[in-house]
Structure 1
Amino acid sequence: MQKIIFYAGIFLLTLISKGMAQENSFEGRAKLISKRIDSIVKAEKEALKEQVYVIDKNLEDGIINKSEAMNLKQKAADESAKAIEEKVSLEQQKLEILIQDKINGLVQYDTVKKRSGTTIIIGSSSDSISDVTEINLGSFKIYNGEKEKIRRKSKRTTSQFVFAGGLNNLITEGEDFENSDFRVWGSHFYEWGLTYNTRIFQNNNLLHTKYGFSVMYNNLRPTENRYFVKNGAQTELQTGAVDFNESRIRNVYLVAPLHLEFDFTPKKTNKEGNTYFRTHESLRLGVGGYGGVRIKTKQILKYEIDDTKIKDKQKGDFNMSNYIYGLSAYIGYRQTSIYVKYDLNPVFKNNAVDQNNISLGVRFDFN
């Protein structure tokens, strides 16, 4: 478990670290020129559109006739085309200079750079942007060029690595968390697994089904130096004869979660005018549940006797329920969500008072 937490921590730190591409690189400067050209064309088209609107309004009001309107539109179109040509020509000259600087070795292409999250771009100085290889460490995916990246990320079904963690406790009838038998800040849960996300409608990105498999760890740390004791069909908390440095019981489950996910990522349009869809790039809300089986239960006790450190591991069922099922929901932005889950079945099979597990934490869906 410690190794899993260690690797998961490294994984999260890798995701959180963000780099920015160098603006003075060949790719960065070329993109800026491209954006300026797009802005020029867009601005001139909007200006022409406004002129045509005024001409049509004058024609409708009888200020000019149809022939004059056509002449004015043609003149406006010619002037707009000339303006675009002159302004774009200046940007093209800058691009030619940039390319020449590249040939002369004055500008270097970024063979390795970072984007949102941690992304490695690999390519030689002769590669075009569409030919480079992108390695996304956050999602463990490799894309060979921009076209493949768009195609794979806009598939109707995509996959995600899921990691979640946070606080864990039991809801006992007639008690609240302030009087809980378990440490509120000391009891935790962890979950990791693989999910698939399928868009329900062909041409609408709002509704998705999210399903897969996860391994879930629910840890409970009793208060007041107590530990769990199996007493026949009952499982009770008893005070230890020694002072525990650690008293913890852990249940491990294999579960199959199923959620209806609302993804508010807007549709996108490529350069050819084709519409495609992405996921995990905006607000997301998931509601659903899970069901599974208990894999194992282990109680860990740590204490000292005569300066000798002792670690006692006790494996058994502790009268725990063999199956688990419950409700869960999450809400968040992009890959990060607030996550809550509640077991509908009691933790212990035969205890006099039912106790149900509840968890609250943070969830990451690495798309």
Structure 2
Amino acid sequence: MAVQRKGVKKLNWIGFIIFLLIVLILPWLGLNSFLMTQATFAGIYAIIAVGLGMLMGYAGQISLGQAAFYGVGAYTTAVVSKTFGLSPWIGLIFAILLPALVAFIVGHTMARLSGYYLAMATLAFGIIVSVLIVEWRSVTSGASGFYGIPTIQLFGTMIKQGLPYYYFVWFFTVITVLISLNIVHSRIGRALRSIHDSEIAANSMGVNTGKYKMQIFIFSAMLAGLAGWLFAHMSYSISPGSFGLDASILFLTMVVLGGATSVWGALIGTILITAINIFVHFLGNNVSFITSDFEHVMNGLILVLVIMFMPKGLFPSLVNVFRKKTPHLVKESTT
């Protein structure tokens, strides 16, 4: 088993290096401004998807409220940096800590829920946050949107949209992936996997399931808040529509498509959904009956097909196929 764990860690490091090289090289492949913006958004969404994947695939908790934490992070930094005139870097601290505090409160409230009941509860939480954003006009500017969010400065240099912000976002994405991989292969990760397999069995083995589920729920909320911070200072303006149920379903689709039981699965799912949405956008420019709503149809169809034919997700399914075709590698890794 020790050899197996070393082999898995080695493969993860190889995958991480390949992933890092792709991130560095991609902007130099002739991307126009639209594709560069979409690649930047993919990095923001990947941060949320990785956190949601950890929550679903390792803690076994279904959440339909990640967009709410995303919105809390975005509006928090908007208020801190625009209304109070503080540095966006101070906004980052609040954009991470406030979703964590909300997750702590919500997590204790929903501590006894699981499965579909938890999904419905998080859905209700997301709706409450959406309504609060719209109705609390004195703070959030309501449905008209929050404008004039300042640009982030690093060592006196403004980080503007385009290549600088692409690398800025993906720097945080890479750090997120690295931290998540370390969590997965730590004692906490082993405890989370035991909870996902059987919470009753994990409890009988002395695993504090409530503690670990709460920790990973807060962790996923903090990542969503970080993504909200990046989004707010990239767009310079935010509106409630970006943080509604559609966004939560989009993040869920990314995780389910790639595979919730793998950090890489959430990342791959994000990239694939982004690529599909780009394809639909270009298709809409050439086909009259294709509208922006077609993206929702595609995402819903993908979600249904994956659940029917690849319930574990794309990445775990491909890994299983690879293992069947190379049994000698599996044998070596388990000796």
**TM-score scaled to structure 2, two decimals?**
0.20
Give the strand-richer structure, 1 or 2: 1
Mark the structure with the bigger radius of gyration: 1
Task: Say which structure, 1 or 2, has more relative contact order (CA 8 Å, 6+ apart).
Answer: 2
Give the helix-richer structure, 1 or 2: 2
**TM-score scaled to structure 1, two decimals?**
0.19
